[in-house]
Amino acid sequence: MAISKSEYAKQWRLKNPDKIARYQKKYYSKNKEKLLKNSKIWRLNNIEIGKLRASNYQKDNREKFNIYKKKLWAQSSDTRKKQNCRHLTILALKRHGYISGNRLCQAENCNNIGVIHHWDYDNYLDISFVCSEHHAKIHSGIIPNGIFRHF
């Protein structure tokens, strides 16, 4: 069955990718100046398009960057706030003669060792001591806020 010229060319291209690559490279190095001049001319003729593209790109990226920056800032200020709060809590506990790890879980009838849970990072004294089991229950909302406090 006879195949068309274009179909033949297509199949040849598919079978010979490295030949094509070599040819393209050769063509490019032979016509480098012409090609560069052409693209320069295109750019000169299309300055407005180029400018628009660049400014769109900048604008797009600036917005993305601003969102990223805001997110980063929110995260870091939140982390800093929590760190600071934990630090103040430890100082306060020391002032109260507390030694880390010697408080029992405050949940009713639980005698496991408790760790600090912060109910509110804006108030470093708003804490409870809970074992890991009850701590998990607080964080999953099973134990509601306001049920018990250390101070």
Closest approach, Cβ 134 to Zn ion, in A, equals 4
Stretch that binds Zn ion, among 3-11, 14-22, 52-60, 128-136 (CB under 5 A): 128-136
Sequence-separated (6 or more) residues with CB below 8 Å from residue 111: 104, 105
Residue 110 in contact with Zn ion, rule: CB under 5 A: yes
Token pair 């430890």 is at which residue? 90
Closest approach, Cβ 128 to Zn ion, in A, equals 8
Residue 107 in contact with Zn ion, rule: CB under 5 A: yes
Closest approach, Cβ 82 to Zn ion, in A, equals 11
CB of 41 or CB of 88, closer to Zn ion: 88
Residue 117 in contact with Zn ion, rule: CB under 5 A: yes
Residue 113 in contact with Zn ion, rule: CB under 5 A: no
Residue 105 in contact with Zn ion, rule: CB under 5 A: yes
Q: Minimal CA–CA distance to 117: which of 138, 90, 147?
A: 138
Residue 85 in contact with Zn ion, rule: CB under 5 A: no
Sequence-separated (6 or more) residues with CB below 8 Å from residue 13: 20
Closest approach, Cβ 99 to Zn ion, in A, equals 19
Q: Which of 85, 93, 127, 131 binds Zn ion (CB under 5 A)?
A: 131
* Contacting positions for Zn ion (CB under 5 A): 105, 107, 110, 112, 117, 131, 134
